[in-house]
Structure 1
Amino acid sequence: MVNFDFHAPTHVIFGKDTEKLVGKETAKYGKKALVHFGGGSVKRSGLLDRVIASLQEAGVEVVTLGGVQPNPRLSLVREGIALCKKEGVEVVLAVGGGSTIDSSKAIAVGVKYDGDVWDFHGGDKNGNKPTVTDRLPLGVVLTIPAAGSEMSNSCVITNEDGMLKRGSSGNGNRPDFAIMNPVLTYTLPAYQTACGATDILAHMMERYFTPEKHVDLTDRLLEAGMQTLIKNAPIALAHPEDYGSRAEIMWVSSLAHNDMLSCGRVSDFSSHQIEHELSARYDVAHGAGLAVIFPAWMKYVYKKDVMRFAQFAVRVWGCSMDFENPEFTALEGIGRMEKFFQSIGMPIRLPELGIDDKYLREMADKCKKSNGDGTQGKFTALNSDDIYEIYKLAL
Structure 2
Amino acid sequence: MQNFDYQTPTRLIFGKGVISNLPEVMKPLGKRILLTYGSGSIKKLGLYDKVKELLAEFEIYELSDIQPNPKYDPSVLDGVRICKQHAVDAILAVGGGSVLDCSKAIAAGAKYDGDPWDLISYKVSAKDALPIVDILTLAATGSEYDCGGVISRTETNDKIGYVDPHLFPVCSILDPTYTFSVLRKQTAAGCADAMNHVMEQYFTEDTTLLNDGFCEAELKSLMTNTKIALENPEDYRARAELMLCCTYGCNGILALGNSASGWPCHGMEHALSAYYDITHGEGLAILTPRWMKHILNDKTVGRFVKYGVNVFGIDENLDKYEIANKAIEETYKFFESIGLPMHLKEVGIDESRIEEMAHHIAVNEGLENAYAPLTEKDITAILRDSL
TM-score range (shorter-chain normalised) is over 0.9
Contact 1:105–1:155 (Cα < 8 Å) also in 2: yes
Q: CA deviation at 1:217?
A: 0.6
Contact 2:267–2:361 (Cα < 8 Å) also in 1: yes
Percent sequence identity over matched residues?
Answer: 39
Q: 1:376 to 1:79 in 2, by over 3 A?
A: farther
Q: Give TM-score, length-normalised by structure 1.
A: 0.94
- 1:48 is aligned to 48
Unpaired runs of at least 5, structure 2: none
- 2:385 is aligned to 393
Alignment of 1:237-252 (within 5 A): 237-252=230-245
- Helix, strand or coil for the counterpart of 1:166? strand
Contact 1:235–1:245 (Cα < 8 Å) also in 2: yes
Alignment of 1:165-314 (within 5 A): 165-213=159-207, 215-265=208-258, 266-303=260-297, 304-314=299-309
Q: What is the CA–CA distance in structure 2 between the aligned matches of 1:368 and 1:110, rounded to whole Å?
A: 28
Amino acid at match of 2:110: V
Deviations along 1:225-248, whole A, 9 cap, x unmatched? 111111100000100000000000
- Root-mean-square deviation (CA, aligned residues, Å) is 1.3
Amino acid at match of 2:89: E
Amino acid at match of 1:8: T
Contact 1:91–1:138 (Cα < 8 Å) also in 2: yes
Q: CA deviation at 1:370?
A: 6.1
Q: CA deviation at 1:132?
A: 2.9
Q: What is the CA–CA distance in structure 2 between the aligned matches of 1:267 and 1:153, rounded to whole Å?
A: 18
Contact 1:7–1:171 (Cα < 8 Å) also in 2: no
Q: What is the CA–CA distance in structure 2 between the aligned matches of 1:247 and 1:82, rounded to whole Å?
A: 36
- 1:126 is aligned to none
Aligned residues: 384
Contact 1:37–1:95 (Cα < 8 Å) also in 2: yes
- Helix, strand or coil for the counterpart of 2:77? helix
Q: What is the CA–CA distance in structure 1 between the aligned matches of 2:19 and 2:108, rounded to whole Å?
A: 24
Deviations along 1:64-86, whole A, 9 cap, x unmatched? 11010000000110111011111
Q: CA deviation at 1:170?
A: 2.6
Q: What is the CA–CA distance in structure 2 between the aligned matches of 1:217 and 1:16, rounded to whole Å?
A: 31
Deviations along 1:238-279, whole A, 9 cap, x unmatched? 000000000000001011111111201123311001001111
Q: 1:369 to 1:269 in 2, by over 3 A?
A: farther
- 1:80 is aligned to 79
Q: 1:377 to 1:43 in 2, by over 3 A?
A: farther
Alignment of 1:16-35 (within 5 A): 16-35=16-35
Contact 1:155–1:168 (Cα < 8 Å) also in 2: yes
- Helix, strand or coil for the counterpart of 2:296? helix
Q: Give TM-score, length-normalised by structure 2.
A: 0.96
Contact 1:29–1:90 (Cα < 8 Å) also in 2: yes
- Helix, strand or coil for the counterpart of 1:95? strand
Report the more deviating stretch, 293-302 or 236-245: 293-302
Contact 2:362–2:375 (Cα < 8 Å) also in 1: no
